[in-house]
Amino acid sequence: MEEFRGAVWKSLQRADRRVVSEPVSRLEYTDQMKIIDRLREDGIHISFEVFPPKTDEGYEKVIATTDEIAKLNPAFISVTYGAGGGTSKNTARIASHIQKDLNVLSLAHLTCASSTKDEVRQVIENLKELGIENILALRGDILPGVRFPDESRFRYAFELVEEIHRHGDFCIGAACYPEGHVENEHRADDIRYLKQKVDSGVDFLTTQMFFDNDIHYNFLYRIREAGITVPVLPGIMPITSASQMKRSQELSGTVFPRRFLSILDRFGSSPAAMRQAGIVYATDQIIDLLANGVRNIHIYSMNKPDVAAAIMSSLSEIIKA
């Protein structure tokens, strides 16, 4: 295992590391910086994800949540995309608030399965007008009642990546799946499709949540062998309740290791204990990743700034080391 992790570390060094001579202030990089440049700076970079409200009435609550997370000095904050266009406009509004009002880099998610090509193009132009130059390109979930595939919609994420490039000089991120995409039967196909996506113009990747770091290290080894050299941000989700675990498994099909299941069995019926155990488990994952040379980590905050703050507090000295 040590030899294997050493190989992964060398791959990460080649792909992700670029030392800069002078630090870049938050004001400078939010005004003129792309996330890929931020990730290549020296040091450790931890980012967070927030999601927009399901209704316009919840907008101010999400803004308050985002404001609290911004106080943790993240490398950037990503904002997920409201499906079907209903509240998707809030993605751009929140991303703009993060960048202009909070002075933090923002990453706007954009999905194509739930929107027509014309709607996607309108969103891209809106993001450009707002000065947002970082987009996470996703196919997204296929909504009930939506005909898919359809000529009026982009079928694959790589097509969306190509379309974004046609509209300007954006930094583009994309998703990857260490345990394989639920729609692909063979992992070899998964990596082949991932390389096609990256080759279409992706600058960095963010993984789906996982709970066993060895799965991530193995995934890194396989994609580097396949010629995928862009930075990869492991996605870490703190599971703080039994219901959240069930929902996560339904959405992603992720495998929970025995160690995590033991935690759930012992503390799942106690909300306070499960919250604490979930925070500790996620923190332990991050510490292991950092110890093995991973420098860029993305945390799915689930709009819980207190959980995010607890993790960052436990990492305060580790990040400096």
Among all residues, which ones are annotated catalytic? 49
C-alpha 191/C-alpha 193 separation (Å) is 5
Task: Burial-class residue 169 by CB neighbours within 10 Å (0-12, 13-18, 19+).
Answer: exposed
C-alpha 66/C-alpha 74 separation (Å) is 11
Cβ neighbours of residue 147 closer than 8 Å, sequence gap 6 or more: none
Cβ neighbours of residue 45 closer than 8 Å, sequence gap 6 or more: 38, 39, 75, 295, 296, 297
Cβ neighbours of residue 193 closer than 8 Å, sequence gap 6 or more: 156, 181, 184
Instruction: Identify any residues that bridge with 233 across adjacent strands, giving them in sequence order.
Output: 206
Instruction: Identify any residues that bridge with 307 across adjacent strands, giving them in sequence order.
Output: none
Q: What are the distances in angstroms from CA 182 to CA 79, 185, 231, 249, 252?
A: 23, 7, 23, 11, 7
| Chain Cα centroid distance, residue 262 | 27
C-alpha 42/C-alpha 70 separation (Å) is 21
| Chain Cα centroid distance, residue 160 | 17
C-alpha 132/C-alpha 143 separation (Å) is 27
C-alpha 294/C-alpha 217 separation (Å) is 10
How far separated are the first and last CA of the chain, in Å rounded? 24
Rg of the chain on CA atoms, in Å = 19
C-alpha 43/C-alpha 220 separation (Å) is 20
C-alpha 279/C-alpha 311 separation (Å) is 6
